[in-house]
Amino acid sequence: MTAMLVIGLLAVGCAPAPTPTPTPTPTPTPKVLKAVAEIPIDNIAMIGTHWVADAVKEYSHGQLTIDLLGDGEVIPVEDQIFAVGEGTVDIIFSMGDDVSQAQPLGFGMALTGMPPWEERDRGIWDFYRKVFSETTNTYWLGHYCAPQWWRLWSNVRAEKPADLKGVPIRAGMTHFGALKALGATPVSTPMSDIYTSMERGVVDAFVFPPIGWTQWGWQEVTKYLVAPKILEGQNSCPLINLDVWNSLSKEEQHWLTQPFLDYEHKWYDQNYENWAGKDYGELAALNAGVELIEWSDADNEYFNKTWLDATWKYATDAMDPKVAAEFAKLVGHD
C-alpha cells in the first residue's frame, strides 16, 4: 500500500499543469474628434463632411472617429474659427469666407480657379497649412467640398449687369467688393434669414451656391437665376486644432488626411453632380420654377472680370501684405 501511494503521488506530480486561460487583448478605445459644420449636416451641401467621417473610420478600422455634433446651433458660424483654435471643438468643416475674420486669406481661397490636385502641385495646400497654423492655431486638412461656385438668385429681372445697380443683395463678405464694383448694395445677413429677407423684400437678390437650397424652400421666394457662374473653384476649409493635430500619432494623422487624396477625383465628380444636377443643384432649382436669365457673351465677360478683379482687391487688401504677395505668386495672379 505504501508503494502504491508513492507511485500515485509520483504520477500526480508528473501530470501536466492545466493550460491557463489566455488574457484577452483589450480592444483599444476609439479616439473621438468632435466636429461642427457651418451648414446643417443633414443638408446635401454638407455631404462632404459625411464622406470624410466615413473614410476616416474606414481607414482607422474604427480607432479614430469624427463625431459630427451639428452646425451653427452648436457653435455659431462666426465663432467656429475661434472655437477650434481655442480647443472648444476639435474640427470645423467651414469655408474660407467664414474663417476670414480670423485669417483674411480665407477671402482669397475661392480665387485660385484650380481643381484641388493642381492647387496641391503648386504648393497652395502647404501654404494654407503654414498660414493657418501660424495665425489661428489650426491645421488645414484638405478640400472636402470641390468644385464650388456661386450663383446670383434674384427677384429683379436683371438682363444685363447694369440692371444690378442699386439692388440690395445678400452675400458673404468675400463678394462685397464685387457687388460694390457692379453698383449693387451688399447686405450681410445669416444664411438662415435668406427666405424671410427675400419674402419681405429686405433684399431683392442673394449670392449663394446652387447646392441644397431647394431643401430650404428658397424657390418659393425666388424668381430668377441670373448671370454666369461666379468664381468656380473651391474654398472649403476643414480645420483641426493644431494642438490636437500635433498630439496625434503619424498613423492617426495619415488616417485623417489620406482620404482627401485617395477619394479626390471621386468626391470631385460626385460634388459636381450634386451642385449642377436635378436632384439637389441648379437643375433642381430650375425644375422647381426658378427662371434662368442668360446674358450675352460680352456681358458675361464683363461681369466675370469685374467680379474677379474686385474680389482679388478686396481679399488682398484684407490680408497681411506678405501673405497676399505669396498667395498671388502661387496662384499666378498678376
- In tens, the pLDDT along 291-304 reads 999 999 999 999 99
Alpha helices in the chain (DSSP H): 2-14, 47-59, 77-86, 96-99, 105-108, 116-121, 124-136, 176-181, 194-200, 242-247, 250-262, 264-276, 282-287, 297-318, 321-331
Supply the mean pLDDT for the chain.
92
Average pLDDT score over residue span 60-86: 96
Q: Judge whether 138 and 242 are in contact, CB under 8 Å.
A: yes
Indicate the domain borders of the chain: 31-146+234-275, 148-232+280-331
Angle at 37 between CA 149 and CA 231, to 5 degrees: 10
Q: So what CATH class is 31-146+234-275?
A: alpha beta
Q: Are strands 185-187 and 31-37 parallel, antiparallel or unpaired?
A: unpaired
Beta strands at 168-170 and 185-187: parallel, antiparallel or unpaired: parallel
Q: Give the up-direction half-sphere exposure of residue 38: CA atoms within 13 A in the CB hemisphere.
A: 22
Q: What pLDDT digit, counting tens, does each position of 277-286 carry?
A: 999 999 999 9
* Beta-bridge partners for 91: 35, 240
Cβ contact 95:103 at 8 Å: no
Q: What percent of the chain has pLDDT over 90?
A: 87
Class of domain 148-232+280-331: alpha beta
pLDDT, tens digit, for every residue of 237-285? 999 999 999 999 999 999 999 999 999 999 999 999 999 999 999 999 9
